[in-house]
Structure 1
């Protein structure tokens, strides 16, 4: 199954924008520590259409140019081959008129592959991208998301795939970073209380459970087959802080052997902006439409690939109706793990 965000992803993901804004202080800290040199290569891994990070890269380029006015800056946007790379190129191009008129490029290969030359990257950044799995760990069968499934055997398989992917990602990035280069990842996570995107500990409805109930209803109504129901799996995994840090604490890992070290880490919570707006204005129709759209932006491909576009559209029509019927019971709150890393000799 090809992973792909919906067209217009950035316009539908205000929460992702807020997550990036919450990491801007550490992004500036990273570039403040870069040694003076004639040029710097900066890369956004898993940028989607690039719209949510325009403001962050404004700040980073301004700060680096202020510190090193004679350095040539190159910014690369990267995601998966299935990404809307035309939109990514357009959003990256917004940086060109800004001093020092950086070079902007699109890398159209997967972030599970090498992206640039070894020892070339000064600063790498990634936000809300590295929870997707590079391959299916096998069937889930009883839910659309493993963390909500209660399936211990499947959880073990999904966790193993997630850690294999994460080790591979950090190995690749550790090769691409130059000595003294910094890497900042802003990843969807799960905290010590087991909370994660869509599950805020019971303050509101469990979003993934609600999606599953709708998907199961389609099967019960005969609108999708049992096989299509079983194939409707969201192939991602929200790692814990300990899982994120594990390759940097393991002296035998490839990333550690390549010199990648943990500088700092933190867990950050971002309340649902759509719910906060509804709290203030009580506009239920707008809330239901916006919350549905942001959930659809990252999950639609899971249902469409399993049962086709019409079935996926039914999921989100029913989701919007459920939100509208009980708006006080809905919120999509983010749990994010920020991890700052440096390559040392």
Structure 2
């Protein structure tokens, strides 16, 4: 395990690329959406405005349906003119321009037909406080909290530390996951209004395996192929890893159980298999080439920037990512499989 610090966590690929290639993430959040609607029907609505926070918004496409559903559920109780402030939070380097273009121009925008809704963006990590004390009635986070605040170490033998053969690397990942989850909860304990609710969906772990082994391995091996071809060096390859991993139920419960978090109540936590809409489409069409390209584009959109951040200065990131994407698409097309991974859904409430 190298002592050299890896680069900071990168945002999703910009220019709206993630918006165009995040249908898997949209499918993942579907299981948490009914809980958001229930929460929106229960939070207090007596303030001057309703505060909704979208923690880990990325480029916004997968925030449109949840925010619309939450606003409608609140206004079923208050009437159509209750002011609502929606705060979209993500890293300073996030492509917020795509989010606001979508809000302004796209038919799926939650602003359409909903007066008195005020979207704002906050370019800061949600692992710290980002909003005033007691200003959030309803919090939402989807497909975000498995991304760590930083990569705790380099991972020379895999693209994900959680799959490393080195137990010290795996321990470092678990320590970072624990620190980040605690920091996230402590920050929310300040921001949530009394009785406010927080719904989170992110990558979990199975009882007998982490999950995501097949696709993570295929993506990593595609990078190895590119290094073997000479397009990047093996020294660069040894620095590359994605700062993400799933959490177990025990890891999620730990900060509540040992008293590190006060003012919040863990209402529910559940782990379930993730959907695989890409494989379902393949079963209908039999088009393995389409399956490979769809997966390759999604992996590039979500993980490409974090991998490319470790390349040498002056390296053409687009050229490298094009090569990796092509190899990954071909690898999947040659051996189509159903992805096996897990979602975890967490419901938290601010204590009265």
TM-score greater than 0.5 by the shorter chain? yes
Cα displacement string for residues 104-140 of structure 1 (whole angstroms, at most 9, x for unaligned residues): 1111222123211011100000011111222231222
User: In the alignment, which of 167, 177, 186 is matched to residue 162 of structure 1?
Assistant: 177
Give the Cα–Cα distance (whole angstroms) in 1 for the partners of residues 302 and 323 of structure 2: 16
- The alpha carbon displacement at 1:44 in A equals 0.4
Give the Cα–Cα distance (whole angstroms) in 1 for the partners of residues 289 and 218 of structure 2: 19
- The alpha carbon displacement at 1:333 in A equals 4.2
* Secondary structure in 2 matching 1:103: strand
Give the Cα–Cα distance (whole angstroms) in 1 for the partners of residues 330 and 88 of structure 2: 36
Give the Cα–Cα distance (whole angstroms) in 1 for the partners of residues 102 and 230 of structure 2: 42
Q: Answer whether contact 1:119 1:175 (CA < 8 A) is retained.
A: yes
Task: After superposing the two structures, state which structure 1 stretch, 94-103 or 126-135, moved more.
Answer: 94-103
The answer on 1:319 being equivalent to 2:334 is: no
User: In the alignment, which of 63, 68, 79 is matched to residue 73 of structure 2?
Assistant: 63
Q: Answer whether contact 2:82 2:116 (CA < 8 A) is retained.
A: no
Give the Cα–Cα distance (whole angstroms) in 2 for the partners of residues 145 and 104 of structure 1: 35
- The alpha carbon displacement at 1:66 in A equals 0.8
- The alpha carbon displacement at 1:67 in A equals 0.9
The answer on 1:9 being equivalent to 2:9 is: no
Cα displacement string for residues 139-186 of structure 1 (whole angstroms, at most 9, x for unaligned residues): 221111112222211101111111111111111111100100001110
Q: Answer whether contact 2:219 2:299 (CA < 8 A) is retained.
A: no
Give the Cα–Cα distance (whole angstroms) in 1 for the partners of residues 258 and 19 of structure 2: 36
User: In the alignment, which of 267, 270, 275 is matched to residue 279 of structure 2?
Assistant: 275
Q: Answer whether contact 2:205 2:341 (CA < 8 A) is retained.
A: no
- The alpha carbon displacement at 1:337 in A equals 0.6
Give the Cα–Cα distance (whole angstroms) in 2 for the partners of residues 195 and 155 of structure 1: 12
The answer on 1:331 being equivalent to 2:338 is: yes
* Secondary structure in 2 matching 1:95: coil
Give the Cα–Cα distance (whole angstroms) in 2 for the partners of residues 319 and 280 of structure 1: 22
Specify the alignment match of 2:96 in structure 1: 85
* Equivalent runs, 1:45-60 vs 2, <5 Å: 45-60=55-70
Give the Cα–Cα distance (whole angstroms) in 1 for the partners of residues 101 and 225 of structure 2: 40
Task: After superposing the two structures, state which structure 1 stretch, 223-232 or 273-282, moved more.
Answer: 223-232
User: In the alignment, which of 211, 232, 238 is matched to residue 230 of structure 1?
Assistant: 238
* Secondary structure in 2 matching 1:147: helix
- The alpha carbon displacement at 1:96 in A equals 2.4
- The alpha carbon displacement at 1:281 in A equals 1.0
- The alpha carbon displacement at 1:189 in A equals 1.1
Give the Cα–Cα distance (whole angstroms) in 1 for the partners of residues 321 and 129 of structure 2: 33
Specify the alignment match of 2:125 in structure 1: 110
* Equivalent runs, 1:191-340 vs 2, <5 Å: 191-196=206-211, 198-199=212-213, 206-251=214-259, 253=260, 255=261, 257=262, 259-307=263-311, 308=315, 309=317, 310-327=319-336, 330-340=337-347
Give the Cα–Cα distance (whole angstroms) in 2 for the partners of residues 109 and 299 of structure 1: 20
Specify the alignment match of 2:350 in structure 1: 343
Specify the alignment match of 2:3 in structure 1: none
- The alpha carbon displacement at 1:247 in A equals 1.3
Q: Answer whether contact 1:48 1:84 (CA < 8 A) is retained.
A: yes
* Secondary structure in 2 matching 1:9: helix
RMSD: 1.7
Q: Answer whether contact 1:77 1:88 (CA < 8 A) is retained.
A: no
Matched pairs, number: 332
Give the Cα–Cα distance (whole angstroms) in 2 for the partners of residues 189 and 47 of structure 1: 19
- The alpha carbon displacement at 1:232 in A equals 1.1
Cα displacement string for residues 198-241 of structure 1 (whole angstroms, at most 9, x for unaligned residues): 23xxxxxx111222222223333333222201111111121111
* Secondary structure in 1 matching 2:63: helix
